[in-house]
Structures are given as C-alpha cells and as structure tokens.
Amino acid sequence: MAYTITHFAPETRGRIDAFFNRFGQGMNAYLEAKAHSARIEALEAKTDEELARMGLTRDRIVAHVFRDTYWL
C-alpha cells in the first residue's frame, strides 16, 4: 500500500513555494533576455539603409530594444 502526503507543515510549504517562486522568476528573466538578444541580433543584421528607414542608427539598437524595460 502506498501513502501520499497531502499536508505539509507551514514552514515546509513556505520553503517549497519560495523555491518555485525563485525558479519562475529566473525562467522569466532568462526568456526575456533571450527575446531581447534575438531582437538585437535581428536588427544588427540589417543594413544601415534598412535601419534608417526604421528611424534607427546602429548605436541606438540596444536602447530601441530595451525601451520598454528601461528609459534609454
């Protein structure tokens, strides 16, 4: 016969919740950074003329990508 624990002590539940909270925050940060780096690479692959049509210069690519995160 198998037993399953369905009740955790409050301090144990708090530690488990904290672990998954930190793990989730780390995943969010990783995915956001990955998306930003992909966007930067895509813009850097464009020609200067293509960037100019978008109203960008090469030195402003990073600021453009992170404009929603930081006020650059």
Q: What is the pLDDT of residue 71?
A: 63
Domain holding 56, by residue range, is 37-72
**Residue 1 pLDDT:** 63
pLDDT at 28 over 80: yes
What pTM did the predictor assign?
Answer: 0.56
Is residue 56 a part of any domain in this protein?
A: yes
**At 3, which helix (H) or strand (E)?**
none
Share of the chain above pLDDT 70, in %: 92
Number of domains in the chain: 1
In a domain, 64, yes or no: yes
Query: Is residue 61 a contact partner of residue 36, using CB atoms and an 8 Å limit?
Result: no
Task: Report, as an integer, the average pLDDT of 8-25.
Answer: 87
Cβ proximity of 40 and 34 under 8 Å: no
The pLDDT value given to residue 11: 86
State the DSSP code for 46: S
